[in-house]
Homo-oligomer: A and B are copies of this chain.
Amino acid sequence: MLFGRIDHIGVAVTDIDAALRLYAEQFDMREQHRERVEEQGVEAVLFEVGDGHVELIEPLSEDTGVGKFIAKNGPGLHHVAYATDDIDQALDAVRDAGLQLIDKQPRRGIRDSRVAFLHPKSTGGVLTEIVEPAH
């Protein structure tokens, strides 16, 4: 089994404090964590839903990946992340399967996770993240 579960969906937002209200108040999800993730150029908030999360991401500037995404598509679904216990092994497996990687090596993600993104060109237009949560 390459992936254990859907770890989270990533939602691009222009105003994270406004977006918070939808998930916290209208959807009644519990806010779990907030962090400025410089490595990804975002301010991020995690909401708990079952054993997965909704990750709201507001770009720190227009020239970040998420900033460019919003300029092109508007706010909305940005990526899906699948959880693995061993991201090095998972990256080897998807590389061997012929998929194109954005991150050849895992890098630091939110809450000290290790993450890597696959290129949407090889995943049917879906920006796909692999995440190994911190142990």
> Would you call B82 and A49 a contact (CB within 8 A)?
yes
A interface, over-half SS: mixed
CB-CB under 8 A from A80, the residues of chain B are: 9, 77
A2 to B54, CA, bound (A): 14
CB-CB under 8 A from A93, the residues of chain B are: 28
> Would you call B124 and A22 a contact (CB within 8 A)?
yes
Nearest to A53 among chain B residues (CB) is B6
A127 to B82, CA, bound (A): 20
> Would you call A5 and B74 a contact (CB within 8 A)?
no
Chain A interface residue number, banded: 35 or more
User: Is the C-beta of A101 less than 8 angstroms from some C-beta in chain B?
Assistant: no
CB-CB under 8 A from A60, the residues of chain B are: none
> Would you call A26 and B99 a contact (CB within 8 A)?
yes
User: Is the C-beta of A37 less than 8 angstroms from some C-beta in chain B?
Assistant: no
A97 to B3, CA, bound (A): 35
> Would you call B49 and A52 a contact (CB within 8 A)?
no
User: Is the C-beta of A73 less than 8 angstroms from some C-beta in chain B?
Assistant: yes
A50 to B84, CA, bound (A): 11
User: A interface vs B, CB < 8 Å?
Assistant: 1-6, 8-9, 11, 13, 19, 22, 25-29, 49-52, 54, 73-80, 82-83, 93-94, 97-99, 120, 122-127
Contacts A5-B49, A9-B80, A27-B94 given; 4 further ones with Cβ under 8 A?
Answer: A25-B97, A76-B120, A76-B124, A76-B126
